[in-house]
Amino acid sequence: MKKVMNDPQNIVQEMLLGMEASAPGFLKKLNGFDVIVNKDLKEERVTLISGGGSGHEPAHGGYVGKGMLDAAVAGPVFTSPGPDQILEGIKAIDKSKGVLIIIKNYSGDVMNFQMAVEMAEMEGINTDFVIVNDDVAVGESSQRRGIAGTVFVHKIAGARAITGASLKEVKETAQKAINNVRSKGIALDPCILPHNGQPSFQISSDKMEIGLGIHGEPGIKQTEVLTAREIAEDLVISLKEDLGLETGEKIAVMVNGLGATPLMELQVLFNEVAMLCQNSGIKIIKTYIGNYMTSLNMAGLSLTFLRTDQDLADLLNAPVCTLSFR
């Protein structure tokens, strides 16, 4: 096991302290809690919180800032934070206009965030939540995981929230983004967990996984290593079908690296995606290529399509000031 770290027990805390120190102008770590908040939160408005297990950096702390999230709660690596941590985050950003909680669809996250919601309600804080389930690799949609598409939901809901919209409106906007976003991933190699130095799954050197999650778990099927072109075809077809995308429609695209994938490979993949979209008359209005929702040092990527109307496009393009999204 090789990692740049001190004691693995403290890795999340030290990461958050490093994050805070790197952006003293606008980020603050809550004392005693693994929560990063937007420190100059002055306006009385609906505020947004998200989070989950760590290991997905820059998610979620990298998305805290004006125009996006107001707080991010960081659990241990790949492990949802407990409700006490989440509650503390909610309390820290509550401006009595309501707090929207953006949850990725994993049993652990959903249970812990919902417990926090219950606790917040008991403390008289007005909250509501949405659950992101963009991963088309998993069949049934109630079971679908939340993966990289979640970042678009953060951005769009965040852009709505600073317009002073009501909790109901911000939630509706977030849900609209969720309804229009789909993702699917592939992995070439597992990640290495800091706590035990073991690969998260076993895979031979000539195989890859299709339809994996972002927690180092294997995918839904294994194949030979495909070419960039074949991968792009598989992913684009899945996303297009699931979204029911038609000629003339507009989308934003994210090619998301899982942590150890050279940007070169992400750009090669995007080149294929762009050609496929052009061939089927789908217009890409904005492109994001990079590490947005990672899985430690997993080798692989995911592709996300967000179908955009003018409203979603404007929200996506609205100004934002965070460490890792713009």
Partner 1 sequence: MENNVFPKKLIIETLRRMKTEISKQKGYLTELEAKIGDSDHGINLDRGFSEVESELPSLENKCIGEILKKVGLILMSKVGGAAGALYGTAFLFAGKELEGKESLNKDDILQAFIKALEGIKSRGGAVLGDKTMIDTLEPVVKYLEDNSGYVETREGWVRITGVAWQGMESTRDLVAKKGRASYLGERSRGHLDPGAVSCYFLIKAMGEGKD
Ligand X SMILES: Nc1ncnc2c1ncn2[C@@H]1O[C@H](COP(=O)(O)OP(=O)(O)O)[C@@H](O)[C@H]1O
Residues carrying an active site annotation: 56, 215
Give Cα separations from 36 to 24, 255, 298 (angstroms): 12, 26, 25
- In angstroms, the CA 201 to CA 208 distance is 11
Residue type (1 letter), 259 = G
In which element (H, E) is residue 37 found? strand 35-38
Determine if 77 is a binding residue for partner 1 (CB under 8 A).
yes
Considering the complex, state which of residue 90 and residue 301 has its C-beta at the smaller distance from its own copies.
301
Candidates 126-134, 136-144, 167-175, 265-273: pick the segment binding its own copies (CB under 8 A): 265-273
Identify any residues that bridge with 181 across adjacent strands, giving them in sequence order. Answer: 306
Return the closest-CA partner of residue 212 out of 151, 135, 266.
135
Q: What does the DSSP 8-state code read for residue 10? A: G
Candidates 87-95, 162-170, 171-179, 298-306: pick the segment binding its own copies (CB under 8 A): 298-306
- In angstroms, the CA 20 to CA 1 distance is 27
* Residue 243-262 contact track with its own copies, rule CB under 8 A, x = bound: ----------------xxxx
Considering the complex, state which of residue 134 and residue 272 has its C-beta at the smaller distance from its own copies.
272
Q: Are 81 and 43 in contact (CB under 8 A)?
A: no
Helix, strand, coil shares, percent, the chain, to 5? 35, 25, 40
Determine if 107 is a binding residue for ligand X (CB under 6 A).
yes
Residues 137-196 that bind partner 1 (CB under 8 A): 137-139, 143, 145, 193, 195-196
In the list 38, 47, 50, 54, the residue contacting its own copies (rule: CB under 8 A) is: 54
Q: What does the DSSP 8-state code read for residue 165? A: -
Q: Which residues bind partner 1 (CB under 8 A)?
A: 53, 75-85, 106-108, 111-112, 115, 137-139, 143, 145, 193, 195-196, 198-202, 213, 215-218, 220-221
Q: Which residues bind its own copies (CB under 8 A)?
A: 1-6, 11-12, 14-19, 21-23, 54-55, 57-58, 62, 186, 188-189, 205, 208, 225, 227-229, 231, 259-272, 274, 284, 287, 289-291, 294, 296-297, 299-301, 323-324, 326
